Amino acid sequence: MKHALYAGVAAMALAAGAAQAEQLTVFGPWLGPDQENVEKVLAAFAEKSGHDVRYVGSDSFEQQILVDAEAGSAPNIAVFPQPGLAADFASRGFLTPLKEGTADWIRENYAAGQSWVDLGTYAGPDGSENLYGFFYKVDVKSLVWYVPENFEDAGYEVPETMEELKALTDQIVADGGTPWCIGLGSGGATGWPATDWVEDMMLRTQTPDVYDQWVSNEIPFTDERVVAAIEEFGHFARNDAYVAGGAGAVASTDFRDSPKGLFSSPPQCYMHRQASFIPAFFPEGTVVGEDADFFYFPAYAEKDLGSPVLGAGTVWAITNENQAAHDLIAYLQEPEAHEIWMALQGFLTPHKGVDTSVFSDPTLKKMNDILLGATTFRFDGSDLMPGGVGAGSFWTGMVDYAGGKDAAEVAAEIQASWDALK
**Percent with pLDDT over 70 in the chain:** 95
- The answer to whether the beta carbons of residues 250 and 323 sit under 8 Å apart is no
- The answer to whether the beta carbons of residues 295 and 278 sit under 8 Å apart is no
- Exposed, middle or buried: residue 172 (CB in 10 Å: 0-12, 13-18, 19+)? buried
Q: Which long-range contacts (CB under 8 A, 24 or more apart) does 150-156 make?
A: 150/262, 150/267, 150/270, 151/270, 154/270, 156/270
- Are both 160 and 263 inside the same structural domain? yes
Cis bond leading into 350, ω under 30°?
Answer: no
Q: What is the pLDDT of residues 340-387, one digit of tens each?
A: 999 998 999 999 999 999 998 999 999 999 999 999 999 999 999 998
Give the separation between CA 135 and CA 329, rounded to whole angstroms. 10
- What is the chain's pLDDT, residue by residue, as a tens digit (422 residues)? 444 444 444 554 555 545 589 999 999 999 999 999 999 999 999 999 999 999 999 999 999 999 999 999 999 999 999 898 999 999 999 999 999 999 999 999 999 999 999 999 999 999 999 999 999 999 999 999 999 999 999 999 999 999 999 999 999 999 999 999 999 999 999 999 999 999 999 999 999 999 999 999 999 999 999 999 999 999 999 999 999 999 999 999 999 999 999 999 999 999 999 999 999 999 999 999 999 999 999 999 999 999 999 999 999 999 999 999 999 999 999 999 999 999 998 999 999 999 999 998 999 999 999 999 999 999 999 999 998 999 999 999 999 999 999 999 999 999 999 999 97
At 9 the pLDDT is 46
At 137 the pLDDT is 97
Partners of 146 in the β-ladder: 293
- Are both 185 and 232 inside the same structural domain? yes
Q: What is the pLDDT of residues 45-67, one digit of tens each?
A: 999 999 999 999 999 999 999 99
- The answer to whether the beta carbons of residues 201 and 211 sit under 8 Å apart is no
- Are both 350 and 403 inside the same structural domain? no
Continuous H helices in 175-322: 192-205, 208-215, 224-237
- Are both 303 and 365 inside the same structural domain? no
- Are both 407 and 271 inside the same structural domain? yes
The number of domains in the chain is: 2
- Are both 135 and 153 inside the same structural domain? no
Q: How far is CA 39 from CA 30, 54, 71, 334, 361, in A?
A: 10, 8, 26, 16, 20
- Are both 34 and 165 inside the same structural domain? no
Give the separation between CA 98 and CA 342, rounded to whole angstroms. 25
Give the separation between CA 230 and CA 289, rounded to whole angstroms. 31
- Is the CA virtual torsion 97, 101, 107, 109 positive or negative? negative
3-class DSSP assignment, residue 134: strand
- Are both 390 and 357 inside the same structural domain? no
- Is the CA virtual torsion 377, 381, 385, 387 positive or negative? negative
Terminal C-alpha separation, the chain: 48
CATH number of the domain enclosing 64:
3.40.190.10
Strand 308-318 with 77-80, pairing: antiparallel
- Are both 154 and 289 inside the same structural domain? yes
- Are both 106 and 230 inside the same structural domain? no
- Are both 191 and 325 inside the same structural domain? no
Would you list the DSSP string of 52-118? EEEEEE-TTHHHHHHHHHHTT---SEEEESSHHHHHHHHHTT--BPPPTTHHHHHHHHBTTHHHHHH
At 12 the pLDDT is 44
- Are both 292 and 280 inside the same structural domain? yes
At 299 the pLDDT is 98
Question: Domain span at residue 69?
Answer: 2-140+310-373
Partners of 339 in the β-ladder: none
